[in-house]
Amino acid sequence: MADSVVLAYSGGLDTSVLVGWLMDKGYDVHCLYVDLGQPCEDIEAILQKALDIGAKTSIAIDVQEELCRDFAFPVLQWQAKYENIYLLGTSIARPLISKIVLQRAREVGAVAYVHGATGKGNDQCRFQLAAEALDPKVKVIAPWRMDEFRELFPGRSEMLEYCEEKNIPVKATASKPYSSDENCLHISYEAGDLEDPNVDGIPIIDFGMTVSPQEAPDQEALVKIGFESGVPTSVNGTTMGAAEIVKALNQLGGENGVGRIDIVENRFVGMKSRGVYEAPGMTCLYAAHQALEQLTVDRDAAHFRDRLSPEVAEMVYNGFWYCAKMDALMAFINQLQQPVTGEVTLGLYKGNVRIVGRTSPNSLYDEAIASMEAADEADYSQNDAEGFLRILGVPLRVQGKARPRNY
């Protein structure tokens, strides 16, 4: 009886080749398509293709709600952006994929988890670190890190020849000018012609979620987003599930050109890479969430979170999701978010997002104290600022006497 493996299967050229290659190695192959809300794919056709190649089983598991609720929204609460710009749409999904693949491996008695990530990319780290955290004894097969696989398939043309020989149906017959990865959070574009950081990506890329800001409507669109304890719960007054909220905002943001970025980022494995991303829904949620926090989270707590946020982004980007440090950080952010309840109205216009209004029953904003107009000074007397500043200035005055500065 042949050993079984579970392949994280997308139906593209690489994972289609892997089905045949694993069979050639003597394995029974169980293909698992993890449905993350990829907007441009025919899942039934993809699953049937795996069976036609010879896979033992081929199934899809829908995890869109879990992806948004349990992975994307906690990262949103951290306001985590890798290198201050990337919203981590691909990174967030990888530990969930590993979790679902391992669950399937347990069901079918598989001896290994197989993925098609390359040995130069970040995804190999995210897949494997998550898998080993969940199952310390897991065996991971990563063909792109194996000499025998790369010798057999040094390039795309050899993979296409293999597919022709094995009667494996593939759409591609020539190299695309870039590669892409998609889920309901975002679509990423990289490699190919985009590897030149001086090449304008807009004329090359067929964007799947957004129109260009130049083609967006000439009138601002308004959208109201509701939150409860930092979790998005409604759009324009309608209560929705997590994935439904993201998709609704993808539509509204995308048609107004919101959410495109172009970044040269530092990969975990050491090199720089250029990526173009579009994440219209999450861009709207980040802006709305931050605006509501400005009302409801006190200064010291907000500033402390902001110092930790880049650390969280880096952990997510590098693949350290299932670890004690992340568990502790998530417990902290869950507590911090308790008062972050209310509604924020955004204006979307030609790629821009602005805050139109925000309201919360837990608002810390006190107009009577903050106002520059004459007001009751019981809570804040401007005279008190004299002594406050004299005390703050003590070390500065001492330093100024001891070490005079030229000015």
Q: How much is the pLDDT for 374?
A: 62
pTM of the complete model: 0.94
Does residue 386 surpass a pLDDT of 60? yes
List phi, psi (to 5°) of 265.
-110, 160
Please check if 11 is assigned to a binding site: yes
Q: Determine which one of 28, 94, 305, 360 is catalytic.
A: 94
Confirm if 190 and 204 have CB atoms less than 8 A apart. no
Does residue 263 surpass a pLDDT of 60? yes
Catalytic-residue membership of 14: yes
Q: How much is the pLDDT for 375?
A: 62
Q: Determine which one of 179, 229, 234, 363 is catalytic.
A: 179
Please check if 347 is assigned to a binding site: no
The average confidence (pLDDT) of the chain is 94
* Pairwise pLDDT comparison (379 vs 88), residue with the higher score: 88
Catalytic-residue membership of 94: yes
Confirm if 41 and 35 have CB atoms less than 8 A apart. no
Query: Can you read off the two tokens belonging to residue 63?
Result: 């995890």
Which of these, 305, 263, 268, 232, lies nearest to 94 by C-alpha position?
Answer: 268
Confirm if 131 and 140 have CB atoms less than 8 A apart. yes
Does residue 24 surpass a pLDDT of 80? yes
> Model confidence at 357, in pLDDT bands (50, 70, 90)?
very high
Q: How much is the pLDDT for 175?
A: 61
- DSSP letter at 193? G
Please check if 9 is assigned to a binding site: yes
Catalytic-residue membership of 299: no
CATH numbers and ranges of domains, the chain: 4-166 (3.40.50.620), 180-297+339-359 (3.90.1260.10), 367-402 (no CATH)
Does residue 6 surpass a pLDDT of 70? yes
DSSP 125-156: HHHHHHHHHH-TT--EE-GGG-HHHHHH-SSH
Please check if 273 is assigned to a binding site: no
> Model confidence at 174, in pLDDT bands (50, 70, 90)?
low
H or E stretch at 267? none
> Which residues sit opposite 172 in a β-bridge?
none
Q: How many Cα atoms are found within 13 Å in the side-chain-facing hemisphere of 357?
A: 7
> Model confidence at 168, in pLDDT bands (50, 70, 90)?
confident
Q: Determine which one of 123, 181, 274, 305 is catalytic.
A: 123
Please check if 188 is assigned to a binding site: yes
Q: How much is the pLDDT for 380?
A: 82
Q: How much is the pLDDT for 157?
A: 86
Beta sheet of 342-349, edge-to-edge order: 238-239, 231-235, 221-228, 342-349, 352-359
Please check if 358 is assigned to a binding site: no
Catalytic-residue membership of 123: yes
3-state secondary structure of 221: strand
Does residue 173 surpass a pLDDT of 70? no
**37 contact partners, CB below 8 Å, separation of at least 6:** 64, 67, 183, 184, 185, 243, 246, 247
Q: How much is the pLDDT for 155?
A: 84
Please check if 86 is assigned to a binding site: yes
Lowest-confidence range among 51-65, 71-85, 309-323, 358-372? 358-372
Q: Using CA atoms, how far apart are residues 140 and 389, in angstroms rounded to an integer?
A: 61
What is the Cα 138 distance to its own chain's centre?
25
Does residue 86 surpass a pLDDT of 70? yes
